[in-house]
Amino acid sequence: MSALLKVENLSHRYATAWAIRDINIEINQKGVVGLLGSNGAGKSTTMNIICGVLNQTEGEVYVNGIDKRKDPRGAKRELGFLPQTPPLYADFTVNEYLTYAATLRFIERIKIKSAVEEAMEKTGITHFSSRLIKNLSGGYRQRVGIAQAIIHKPGMVILDEPTNGLDPNQVIEARKLIREIANDHLVLLSSHVLSEINLLCREIIMIEGGRIVFADSIDAFNSYAQPQTIFVKMDNLPAASELQRIPGITKVEAVSPNSCHLYFSGSSTITQTIIRTSIENNWGLSEISLEKSLLDDVFKQLSHSQQ
């Protein structure tokens, strides 16, 4: 069976500068895959090439096994796209707009009505079918944008920063809808919001400086967040110099008169050494915890590995 999406050695140059270099992606399962990266990292360029909006300088894209260069129309049939600004016509009703979108997608005339009804039902907008798009809230406009992206039942849907500009309640609703859509499609979602990617995605592809710096499951990404420091609270907290004598402790940072962060190198079994040393010296250890680096720190770490 062909991969739902396969990208091979993809590179793109605008004028003289390379925007992306040597991007390789293979996705075989439905679900949400996050494309993460800071501003200017190369997310939109990658997505625009996959969608066929932009022709790559080098490399190949296969959507459901269809070569985008050799059969662009066939590849587009397997793709739905919601750009950052939804391509909506404000003076159309929801029904009129989706009927038009279905026509653009070459859906047979006889099947258009049912395709529109199904897309509206899946995105929860049936009750607004005859409302003008300009009279919808931002959250509902986004739903219409998602409805046009799935109207032709593509294998893959690309959503470029889909929750950008929505209010907090609309963001929650939009995420719920994206999860539902991902039961039937591969959803490639771009974002620079780590918490969003963490909530929604099964896999993460992280791009920085036009290159992939991380591509793995969300669990692997989270376990990349290695323990960095140990927090300790002791009734008789000794001087920093004494704590630094414990093998492996590299730095001590005071938090309060009886608590501190201990920076360490090597294995996290160091906590056992700290507990033992505390008992031997009667330091009165009352709290000890490993503190993992935050996702933001991992993000910075991975970004800097490319600079």
Ligand X SMILES: Nc1ncnc2c1ncn2[C@@H]1O[C@H](COP(=O)(O)OP(=O)(O)OP(=O)(O)O)[C@@H](O)[C@H]1O
Q: Provide the binding-site residues for ligand X, judged by CB under 6 A.
A: 14-15, 19, 37, 39-45, 192
Tell me 126's DSSP state.
G
Query: With respect to ligand X, which residue has the nearer C-beta, 51 or 116?
Result: 51
Query: With respect to ligand X, which residue has the nearer C-beta, 37 or 145?
Result: 37
Tell me 284's DSSP state.
-
The vertex-232 CA angle with 276 and 289, nearest 5°, equals 90
Q: 248 to each of 52, 229, 244, 245, 271, how far by Cα in Å?
A: 53, 11, 8, 8, 10
Amino acid code (one letter) for 151? I
Query: With respect to ligand X, which residue has the nearer C-beta, 14 or 106?
Result: 14
The whole-angstrom separation of Cα 118 and Cα 146 is 12
Q: How far is the CB of 42 from ligand X (least distance, A)?
A: 4
Query: With respect to ligand X, which residue has the nearer C-beta, 39 or 169?
Result: 39
Tell me 201's DSSP state.
-
Strands 186-191 and 31-36: parallel
- Cβ neighbours for 6, distance < 8 A, ≥ 6 positions apart: 25, 26, 27, 60, 61, 62
Is the Cβ–Cβ distance between 142 and 94 less than 8 Å?
A: no
Q: How far is the CB of 245 from ligand X (least distance, A)?
A: 47
Query: With respect to ligand X, which residue has the nearer C-beta, 112 or 189?
Result: 189
Q: How far is the CB of 97 from ligand X (least distance, A)?
A: 25
Around 156, how many Cα atoms within 13 Å sit in the side-chain half-sphere? 26
Q: How far is the CB of 209 from ligand X (least distance, A)?
A: 9
Dihedral of alpha carbons 77, 3, 24, 83, sign: positive
Query: With respect to ligand X, which residue has the nearer C-beta, 18 or 92?
Result: 18
Q: How far is the CB of 102 from ligand X (least distance, A)?
A: 29
Q: How far is the CB of 82 from ligand X (least distance, A)?
A: 14
CA dihedral 158, 163, 169, 173 (to 10 degrees): 0
Query: With respect to ligand X, which residue has the nearer C-beta, 155 or 209?
Result: 209
Compute CA 241 distance to the chain's CA centroid, rounded to the nearest angstrom. 44
The vertex-212 CA angle with 154 and 23, nearest 5°, equals 60
Query: With respect to ligand X, which residue has the nearer C-beta, 35 or 63?
Result: 35
Q: How far is the CB of 37 from ligand X (least distance, A)?
A: 5
Q: How far is the CB of 43 from ligand X (least distance, A)?
A: 4
The vertex-223 CA angle with 28 and 251, nearest 5°, equals 155
